[in-house]
Chains A and B, each alone.
Chain A
Amino acid sequence: MLIFSVFKTLTDQQVTVELKNDLSITGVLKSVDQFLNIRLDSIKVLDEARHPHMMAVKNCFIRGSVVRYVQLPSEHVDTQLLEDATRRESLAAVKR
């Protein structure tokens, strides 16, 4: 739930999603759900020469399970807040 909240705060920011098939897509994060499925607008594939079939695609929905990494804009991530929230969530998990 914590990571879902992080992604929600990053909507309308530019992110780079790297998939498990090595395809990297940069775009504006439009929405995210609890499975970390991601909707991107104004997308650009990093290595277009290797993925010419993606050139016409302007926006996409990415199934959460095929994501390897998401590169986030560090200036929009409060690391101290993240660490505190993670500690809080881990304590709640122990009590359960």
Chain B
Amino acid sequence: MDPSSSIQEPFDLIRLSLSERVFVKLRGDRELTGILHAYDGHMNLIMSDVEETIMIVDVVDGAPAGQPATVNVAKRKMDMLFVRGDGVILVSPPSRT
């Protein structure tokens, strides 16, 4: 078995995404897209050209159940970013379209 080219374990999926644009979902209704440059076993990440999306959900008091809550989206860009692994929910490789 050649561990450098095949997928044996979950981390291999992330390894094959190095230097590619990835989607990262974080705790606290945050999402990132950026180019992945480094990761470790804690899923600490180093990414560049990052766009962060923060979902801010406003639940209207006294609104009838089922009425959609208004969602405000805040976006910002960062050049080079270290992301601490304990906040990471998922890392998704770029969509191959």
Residues of chain A touching chain B, judged by Cβ–Cβ distance below 8 Å, are: 1-3, 6-7, 20, 36, 64-65, 67-74, 77, 79, 82-83, 85-87, 89-91, 93-95
How far is B8's CA from A90's CA once the two chains are assembled, in angstroms? Answer: 12
- In the complex with contacts A3-B44, A77-B46, A94-B8, A69-B82 CB distance below 8 A: yes
Contacts of A7 in B (CB 8 A): 82
Contacts of A79 in B (CB 8 A): 19, 35, 37, 48
From B4, B8, B82, contact of A70 by CB (8 A): B82
How far is B2's CA from A95's CA once the two chains are assembled, in angstroms? Answer: 11
Contacts of B4 in A (CB 8 A): 87, 91
Contact B38 A72 (CB under 8 A): no
Contact A3 B82 (CB under 8 A): yes
- In the complex with contacts A79-B19, A86-B39, A91-B3, A74-B46 CB distance below 8 A: no
How far is B9's CA from A2's CA once the two chains are assembled, in angstroms? Answer: 20
Contacts of B28 in A (CB 8 A): 20
In the complex, how many angstroms separate the beta carbon of B88 from the nearest chain A beta carbon? 11
